[in-house]
Amino acid sequence: MATHLSAAQARPKHKRVLPGLGLSLGTSLLFISLIMLLPMTGLIMQSVDMGWDEYWYVITNERVVASYKVTLWAAFFASIFNGLFGLLLAWVLVRYEFPGRRVLDALVDLPFALPTAVAGITLATLYSQNGWYGDLLASLGIKVAYTPVGIILAMAFTSIPFVVRTVQPVLEELSPEEEEAGMTLGASDWAVFRRVIFPALWPALMTGIALSFTRSLGEFGAVIFIAGNMPYVSEITSLMIFVSLQEFDFPAASAIASVVLMASLVLLFAINVWQARYLRRLHGR
């Protein structure tokens, strides 16, 4: 795949004058092999050791399957929320000048910079019954902390920046001609947005949502404090791995982890291939 792409995009033959290919590529490859690829061998060996029957038994265990469902649904809702909120944030940041815009822009990155455990205890405290929000919501009869809604909230919090930061640059480079033509012809704001702007934005928006989803699937620190971790109800898959480890059940932890790892690697490669495609379409015209 990768070789195919670079061959297709080959620039006019360019004599290599810059030094350091051997050193920089060699170091990078060595590092990636040692840090990322080598550790995977342990997991593969451990899973192979188990034998298929036991492996299948562990990964289809009822409680584990319930945790897949909780994790997938929560990540789904969190990334949909972030698609909407992220699009709104990106739009407001790019299109409007207002006092505090720079502060808002900086704040968007807070969830990346703030340690997940800190986010976790903060959200759990805010939304618990004595917390500022929990108190208010309780009087409306809504319970967030220690329910699946809390999981969605924590996942959404930690992945807010993804959609904003993928949509923002595309929105900045959008040329105004078509948009202004539409507006001059008297189309409504919404019609022009839907017909002209949204088609240009949606690949970036989808990428952002997919990144947000991937991150949410793996989120641990922010979630465990607010989730309540009730079996079958609010246990996420990362926690199942953690619990197996605490019981020194390495085979079970590895089996569940292999499922999570495969899912995230497939998502990662899919996002990258999709991004390369739409970039090529964008520049290939």
Q: Which residues contact 178 (CB under 8 A, 6 or more apart)?
A: 196
Residue 232 C-beta: closest distance to other proteins, Å: 20
Q: Which is nearer to other proteins, 148 or 257 (CB)?
A: 257
126 or 233: whose CB is closer to other proteins? 126
Is the Cβ of residue 129 or residue 272 nearer to other proteins in the bound state? 272
Q: What is the DSSP string of 154-173?
A: HHHHHTHHHHHHHHHHHHHH
Q: In this complex, which beta carbon is closest to other proteins, that of residue 107 or of residue 230?
A: 107
Closest CA to 167 of 80, 94, 77, 109: 94
As measured in angstroms, the least distance from the Cβ of 241 to other proteins is 5
Smallest distance from the beta carbon of 41 to other proteins, in angstroms? Answer: 7
Q: Where are the alpha helices (DSSP H) in 60-197?
A: 62-95, 101-107, 110-113, 116-127, 132-139, 148-158, 160-173, 177-184, 189-192
Least separation, in Å, of the C-beta of 80 and other proteins? 15
Structure-block tokens of residue 38? 């080598």
- Burial level of 271, CB count in 10 A (0-12/13-18/19+)? middle
